[in-house]
């Protein structure tokens, strides 16, 4: 009998692989230019790393991870997202070194595994290139990560990219916002989708980025986190916008960009390009100032981006066709 590949995964055939090599080479070249160094982490990690970093009440941890027990009964998980393994390796190998001021700039190109409903550009094994800038709280570094990403898209001929920008606040200002959001949503609860009814309890921020049309309509007039930021977050967000303005990078403020992971603080952003569904981004990221401490390290601010290579190649094809 002939075997077939498992559902939701893809073969990259010889006549397509040239485009992959070109995209990967372009990303490497840009990372060299921006002085990011490559890091390669294992394909799997202890399950607890992803649970702790990404958050228990997220889609990823709740239903999308490829988790298995090895022969000694350890719970392991195939790389479920790009950032947590890099942070784990950064801490474990003391890449910070003796220099407390040192900015760690790392990049990776790696497969990511999610038990997701297969659809265009979404595979159960997909490929991500990403960059992390560790140990700076400066808004200029957020802007640099965004600039690097856009530089990458433009070099591949994807010119028509929209940058959606938001701030998701921090542990100081977010709790009050969550309360405001929940009191806004409470009277509408019966009309929200079943996912949102669950999120209302477990992860209310995600009410804002539900793909269900009725949920979107209901949440259209929800309070906006950007208006409730603490002085520190507000100042940082203004700094990011100011730097983008200086760099001539246009952006659209969008309060629904909250990302699916718990670890984001302050800046959150996504890149949207024609050729994919309207809400399907080709990449995104943000700041995660709490994550490194959560992973057992010293308090260390950081910001990063993850870019989906499959989606970038679809967007590139669409850009070349026009
Ligand atoms: Zn704040
Ligand atoms: Zn919903």
Q: How far is the CA of 230 from the centre of ligand 1 (A)?
A: 4
Q: How far is the CA of 211 from the centre of ligand 2 (A)?
A: 7
Instruction: Give the mean model confidence (pLDDT) for residues 269-281.
Output: 82
Q: How far is the CA of 265 from the centre of ligand 1 (A)?
A: 8
- Judge if 156 and 215 occupy the same domain: no
Count the domains in the chain: 2
Q: How far is the CA of 190 from the centre of ligand 2 (A)?
A: 11
Q: Which residues pair with 165 in a beta bridge?
A: 253, 269
Instruction: Give the mean model confidence (pLDDT) for residues 270-274.
Output: 92
pLDDT tens readout for residues 75-118: 999 999 999 999 999 999 999 888 878 899 999 999 999 998 87
Structural domain span for residue 102:
14-170+229-321
Q: At 59, is the pLDDT very low, low, confident or very high (cuts 50, 70, 90)?
A: confident
Q: SS3 of 2, please? A: coil
Does residue 114 form part of some domain?
yes
Q: Strand runs (DSSP E) across 135-214, as ranges? A: 162-167
What is the model's pLDDT at position 62?
82
d(CA 210, CA 286): 19
Q: At 291, is the pLDDT very low, low, confident or very high (cuts 50, 70, 90)?
A: very high
Instruction: Give the mean model confidence (pLDDT) for residues 275-293.
Output: 87
Does residue 83 form part of some domain?
yes
Q: What is the pTM of this model?
A: 0.94
CATH of the domain at 312: 3.30.930.10
d(CA 162, CA 225): 21
d(CA 78, CA 67): 7
């Amino acid at each position: 009998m002939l075997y077939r590949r498992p559902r939701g995964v893809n073969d990259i055939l010889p006549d397509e692989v040239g485009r992959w090599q070109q995209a990967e080479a372009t990303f490497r070249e840009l990372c060299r230019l921006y002085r990011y160094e490559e890091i390669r982490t294992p394909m799997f990690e202890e399950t607890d790393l992803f649970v702790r970093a990404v958050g228990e009440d997220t889609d990823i941890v709740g239903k999308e991870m490829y988790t298995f027990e090895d022969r000694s009964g350890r719970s392991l998980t195939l790389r479920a997202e790009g950032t947590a393994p890099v942070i784990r390796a950064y801490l474990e190998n003391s890449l910070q070194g003796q220099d407390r001021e040192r900015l760690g700039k790392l990049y990776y190109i790696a497969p990511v595994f999610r038990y997701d409903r297969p659809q265009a550009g979404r595979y159960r094994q997909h490929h991500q290139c990403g960059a992390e800038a560790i140990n700076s709280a400066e808004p200029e570094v957020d802007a640099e990560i965004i600039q690097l990403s856009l530089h990458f898209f433009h070099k591949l001929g994807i010119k028509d990219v929209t940058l959606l920008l938001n701030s998701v606040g921090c542990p100081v200002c977010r709790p009050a916002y969550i309360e405001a959001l929940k009191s806004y949503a409470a009277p509408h609860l019966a009309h929200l989708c079943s996912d949102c009814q669950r999120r209302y309890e477990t992860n209310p921020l995600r009410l804002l980025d539900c793909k269900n049309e009725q949920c979107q309509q209901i949440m259209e007039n929800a309070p906006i986190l950007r208006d409730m930021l603490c002085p520190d977050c507000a100042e940082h967000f203004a700094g990011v916008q100011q730097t983008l303005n200086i760099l001539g990078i246009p952006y659209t403020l969008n309060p629904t960009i909250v990302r699916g992971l718990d670890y984001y603080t302050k800046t959150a952003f996504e890149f949207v390009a024609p050729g994919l569904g309207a809400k399907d981004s080709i990449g995104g990221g943000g700041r995660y100032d709490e994550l490194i401490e959560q992973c057992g390290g010293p308090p260390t601010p950081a910001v990063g981006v993850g870019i989906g290579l499959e989606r970038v190649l679809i967007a590139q094809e669409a850009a070349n066709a026009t």
